[in-house]
């Protein structure tokens, strides 16, 4: 699909001294710059309370870019990019600091021709999203005559009520089409490919329903722990960090009805419809359909309370109550310190209705399994039964494989590159709309409430697939997790 060309703009990053800025955002912008996907003059202004000179900030960013590409950015490509990076220190919730920032931005407009166009990127602690967004507006920084886009990082809200309050406070100053709620999973090529796979191929749609599908497993397992994010993670947990956003995004892409056009609102309308149909568990139901786990040793991690009941593992069974999916379970699972880093969606088809082969030679035929591997080893596989060569009719399951690297090579744009570019181009398709966030929280809120009533997560040893209760969740349904 041909993309329009980008307007020059200023990308203003709040929380610029943080990790996200140096590890993801600036390397992504640098890569877009090298590919000439952003317009000449486009500038970046980092701001936070830490004191940096422009040069010190550029040095920090250069190190981030080196870590990202594995090599030092060379002078010829780095210097002209770095020249358009600036830093303003200040407290973004304070009116005077905001006005000083405004003066710097106006000067860049005059020198670089950025025409008042702004991407306001909130890469701060979630508690600052609303105060900073409000302060930008109150300081008059939206009145530049150019376009204004506000990017809000996750987690978006802490529960349903706080998400609604945040949506409402942003809506006081920004139109919905100016708000870009980022979920980096949507920027992954393999996640976007879920839509292409479903809607660019005629053969899957007729079987994409309760008649042929037995159940769906959506898993985002991580081998790593919480690294140096103890304080953040202990206030967040797996439900808010991954399940409410990344896992439900994947679920909505698998479950949605076919959209009539590749259009931001048409696609998002269908995702919202799918989320609306997800059965709402009562806090009491949660006891039997949700598992909360915590890896052993978590409470000794830096920044974590020694009595913490924050979950590092989440598993749940969900149903989508509509004609397509009635009574097909969707099992969701995510966790830290698991045996491998694997994100995948496994669609398990039903067994053949009648076994016509001699039962002495064929005990059982594995049902077909379609696996969309989001990462790593990105690809898609489909299993099917095949006759083993020989005089008997012996059936063995084999794989049909598509592997991204073999077909397309290993280079793929990183999620943040794609999403930052979309934001600069004004394409919100891969960003969450307010009603999507609201629906996702309506699904998760009873679980949050159930956990808030007390109890503790079940512990699991690092390097395992989570607490036993997670296996029981499927065992009770005579199923089992697919462990990569």
Active site residues: 246
Question: Of 343, 348, 434, 470, which lies in the binding site for ligand BG6, with binding defined by CB under 6 A?
Answer: 343
Q: What are phi and psi of 89, to 5 degrees?
A: -95, 145
Q: Which of 88, 70, 80, 67 is nearest to 40 (CA)?
A: 80
Closer CB to ligand BG6, 184 or 215, in the complex: 184
Q: Which of 323, 342, 294 is nearest to 481 (CA)?
A: 342
Whole-number minimum distance, CB 104 to ligand BG6, in Å?
A: 30
Whole-number minimum distance, CB 343 to ligand BG6, in Å?
A: 6
Closer CB to ligand BG6, 84 or 236, in the complex: 236
Q: Which of 263, 275, 262, 260 is nearest to 177 (CA)?
A: 263
Binding residues for ligand BG6 restricted to 203-232, rule: CB under 6 A: 222
User: Sheet containing 213-221: which strands, arranged edge to edge?
Assistant: 394-403, 379-388, 369-375, 342-349, 213-221, 330-335, 313-318, 290-295, 458-460
* 3-class secondary structure, 90: coil
CB count in 10 Å sphere of residue 390: 8
Rounded to whole angstroms, the Cα distance separating 159 from 155 reads 10
Whole-number minimum distance, CB 183 to ligand BG6, in Å?
A: 8
Determine if 241 is a binding residue for ligand BG6 (CB under 6 A).
yes
Q: How many chain residues bind ligand BG6 (CB under 6 A)?
A: 4
Rounded to whole angstroms, the Cα distance separating 320 from 316 reads 13
Whole-number minimum distance, CB 241 to ligand BG6, in Å?
A: 5
Closer CB to ligand BG6, 378 or 445, in the complex: 378
Long-range contacts of 30-37 (CB under 8 A, 24+ apart): 30/65, 30/73, 30/78, 30/81, 31/69, 31/413, 31/414, 31/417, 32/417, 32/420, 32/421, 33/77, 33/81, 34/77, 34/81, 37/6, 37/421
Find out whether 10 and 118 touch, Cβ atoms under 8 Å.
yes
Whole-number minimum distance, CB 185 to ligand BG6, in Å?
A: 7
Q: How many helices (H) and strands (E) does the chain have?
A: 16, 15
Closer CB to ligand BG6, 82 or 315, in the complex: 315
Whole-number minimum distance, CB 403 to ligand BG6, in Å?
A: 19
Closer CB to ligand BG6, 88 or 345, in the complex: 345
Whole-number minimum distance, CB 49 to ligand BG6, in Å?
A: 22
Find out whether 241 and 222 touch, Cβ atoms under 8 Å.
no
Q: Cβ-closest residue to ligand BG6?
A: 241
**176 DSSP 8-state letter:** G
Closer CB to ligand BG6, 237 or 446, in the complex: 237
Binding residues for ligand BG6 restricted to 38-77, rule: CB under 6 A: none
Determine if 109 is a binding residue for ligand BG6 (CB under 6 A).
no
Closer CB to ligand BG6, 343 or 434, in the complex: 343
Closer CB to ligand BG6, 222 or 301, in the complex: 222
Determine if 153 is a binding residue for ligand BG6 (CB under 6 A).
no
Rounded to whole angstroms, the Cα distance separating 84 from 89 reads 17
Whole-number minimum distance, CB 359 to ligand BG6, in Å?
A: 44
Rounded to whole angstroms, the Cα distance separating 143 from 227 reads 41
Find out whether 217 and 341 touch, Cβ atoms under 8 Å.
no
- Kindly list the residues in this chain that would bind ligand BG6 in the complex (CB under 6 A): 222, 241-242, 343
């Amino acid at each position: 699909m041909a993309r329009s060309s980008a307007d020059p703009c200023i990308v203003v990053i709040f929380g610029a001294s943080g990790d996200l800025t140096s590890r993801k955002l600036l390397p992504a912008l640098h890569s877009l710059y090298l590919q000439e996907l952003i317009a000449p003059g486009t500038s970046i202004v980092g701001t936070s309370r830490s004191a940096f000179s422009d040069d010190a900030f550029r040095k920090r960013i250069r190190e981030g870019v080196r870590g990202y590409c594995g090599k030092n950015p060379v002078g010829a490509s780095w210097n002209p990019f770095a020249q358009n990076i600036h830093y303003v220190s200040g407290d973004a919730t304070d009116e005077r600091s905001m006005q000083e920032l405004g003066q710097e931005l106006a000067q860049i407009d005059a020198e670089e021709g950025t025409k008042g166009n702004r991407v306001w990127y909130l890469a701060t602690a979630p508690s600052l999203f609303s105060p900073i967004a409000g302060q930008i507006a109150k300081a008059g920084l939206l009145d530049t005559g150019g376009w204004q886009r506000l990017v809000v990082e996750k987690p978006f809200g802490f529960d349903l009520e706080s998400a609604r309050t945040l949506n409402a406070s942003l809506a006081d100053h920004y139109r919905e089409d100016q708000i870009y709620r980022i979920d980096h999973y949507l920027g992954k090529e393999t996640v976007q490919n879920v839509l292409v796979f479903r809607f660019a191929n005629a053969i899957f749609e007729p079987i994409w329903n309760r008649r042929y599908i037995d159940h769906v497993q959506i898993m985002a397992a991580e081998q790593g722990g919480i690294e140096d994010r103890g304080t953040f993670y202990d206030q967040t947990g797996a439900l808010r960090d991954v399940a409410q956003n990344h896992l439900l995004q994947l679920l909505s892409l698998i479950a949605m009805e076919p959209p009539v056009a590749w259009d931001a609102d048409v696609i998002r309308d269908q995702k919202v419809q799918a989320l609306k149909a997800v059965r709402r568990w009562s806090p009491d139901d949660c006891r039997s359909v949700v598992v909360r786990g915590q890896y052993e040793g978590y409470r000794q991690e830096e920044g974590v309370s020694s009595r913490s009941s924050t979950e590092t593992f989440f598993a749940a069974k969900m149903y989508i109550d509509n004609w397509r999916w009635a009574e097909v379970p969707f099992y969701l699972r995510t966790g830290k310190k698991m045996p491998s880093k694997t994100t995948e969606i496994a669609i398990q088809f039903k067994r053949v209705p009648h076994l016509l082969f001699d039962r002495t030679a064929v005990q059982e035929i594995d049902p077909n399994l379609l696996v969309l591997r989001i990462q790593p080893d990105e690809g898609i596989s489909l299993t099917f039964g095949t006759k083993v060569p020989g005089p008997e009719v012996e059936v063995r399951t084999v794989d049909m494989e598509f592997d991204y690297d073999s077909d397309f090579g290993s280079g793929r744009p990183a999620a943040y590159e794609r999403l930052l570019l979309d934001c600069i181009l004004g394409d919100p398709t891969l960003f969450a709309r307010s009603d999507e966030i609201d629906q996702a929280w309506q699904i998760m809120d009873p679980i949050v409430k159930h956990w808030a009533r007390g109890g503790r997560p079940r512990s699991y040893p690092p390097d395992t697939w989570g607490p036993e209760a997670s296996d029981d969740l499927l065992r009770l349904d005579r199923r089992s997790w697919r462990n990569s």
